[in-house]
Structure 1
């Protein structure tokens, strides 16, 4: 599908959140995917990923995940300075503020012209964590979480100490986890902890471990695996087509 692109400034309890919107050009009724980025916000690789998803018949919303901590339009570089700033933001923003962002995005999606009212979530790196976290909201019918960091450690800051793993039982939709076996950010012990929680809580989940490093979806840098990335897009489209077009 040919797609179009625009921006929206969505009000949240912690300030205006610039959100990039990709959608099919042809009029119709399409589901919506909230696509959470890495710590660097909407870089060129993230924009290309969003465009790929939209071209399969979805509205795709890419929020600036650290909008309270940066000027609107901030994009961090894939270098040490950008990584340090992004990690600083990650350890500053409270999980509850991510939750209120998700609420604002869901409300926006449900009122979006040409949206069928069904919403899913997808993300990479911390965005994978945020897609999982979004799935705690019953409005999120499916989540595709790629190499999600910091779930296993429950280490992201929280105002009330409400552990993300402890709340897994609240998930009502379907979750697809993808992990790189060579990813040092989520070691085998961490993956096992998450998998055990999935089994114990009985959520509806899919689990996939692949031979890949962290950030294998990012089409810049030497960790990119194009063949594997293509397979992940197909799996994500299959999940969202099944869960969001009912």
Structure 2
């Protein structure tokens, strides 16, 4: 399916304008919207290629700049020590309530978008894996794919250590897919067990994958990129979204 990736918009949120990037099919129509959440570096080229991959399956994919309160529109942090330090600082500076109000504002904006069908899903990697999980707390989100979500097991996302993500697991009503690299130092085995135990306890509709990979194994062009795992992960993602968004036989 041919797609276009040249659209941006500035969405109003309670904490200021948020630049978003859209990828969607070129043909006319209304498509399920996928909120795609980036790593701590914001909307890098690998993230935009992920969006294109998903949009090509028939979705309206929207990537928000998660640090819009602190960086100017269009800011992309570098994959180096300085960019990593800045991205990590901001994920602990921004209140978790602001991450949530961004999601509400984005869904409200998409509901009026002429290419949105009114169905919503989420996808995210690293910080974005956690934010995809937070999006799943919204009652409109039917399916969320969360890849190597950081700060979830330790409840350490956001300012003031007010992270209640796992505590609110009972609120997730859609399908949740979580994917982890077994060699990920940010989410060790014990942390993954904390997360899975809580989700099982809450009765979440859960799909769980642990693979022989490292953190950020989806980031193409980087040393930890694993092409075989990338293809497998996209297959899982496509199946998750098809299960929730494709018309079912009567």
**C-alpha contact 2:148 2:179 (8 A) present in aligned 1:** yes
**C-alpha contact 1:35 1:63 (8 A) present in aligned 2:** yes
Aligned-partner Cα distance in 2 for 1:93–1:187: 25
Aligned-partner Cα distance in 1 for 2:163–2:232: 34
* TM-score w.r.t. length of structure 2: 0.96
SS of residue paired to 2:10: strand
Match of 1:38 in 2: 39
Aligned-partner Cα distance in 2 for 1:150–1:113: 35
SS of residue paired to 2:124: strand
Match of 2:235 in 1: 234
| Alignment coverage as a number of residue pairs | 246
Q: Deviations over 1:47-93 (max 9, x none)?
A: 11101110110000000011101011000010000000101111100
Q: Does 2:106 match 1:105?
A: yes
Aligned-partner Cα distance in 2 for 1:156–1:179: 18
Match of 1:14 in 2: 15
Q: Deviations over 1:106-160 (max 9, x none)?
A: 1122211122110000000000000001101111100000000000000113569
Name structure 1 gaps, 5 residues minimum: none
Aligned-partner Cα distance in 2 for 1:159–1:244: 37
Q: Deviations over 1:28-64 (max 9, x none)?
A: 2211100000000000100111011101100000000
| C-alpha RMSD of the superposition | 1.2
**C-alpha contact 2:217 2:226 (8 A) present in aligned 1:** yes
**C-alpha contact 2:155 2:163 (8 A) present in aligned 1:** no
Q: Which runs of 4+ in 1 moved over 4 A?
A: none
Name structure 2 gaps, 5 residues minimum: none
Q: Does 2:131 match 1:122?
A: no
Aligned-partner Cα distance in 2 for 1:14–1:214: 31
Aligned-partner Cα distance in 1 for 2:71–2:232: 34
* TM-score w.r.t. length of structure 1: 0.97
SS of residue paired to 2:90: helix
| Alpha-carbon distance change, 40 to 31 in structure 1, aligned in 2, over 3 angstroms | same
Aligned-partner Cα distance in 2 for 1:216–1:161: 29
The within-5 A match list for 1:94-243 is: 94-157=95-158, 161=162, 163-243=164-244
| Alpha-carbon distance change, 229 to 19 in structure 1, aligned in 2, over 3 angstroms | same
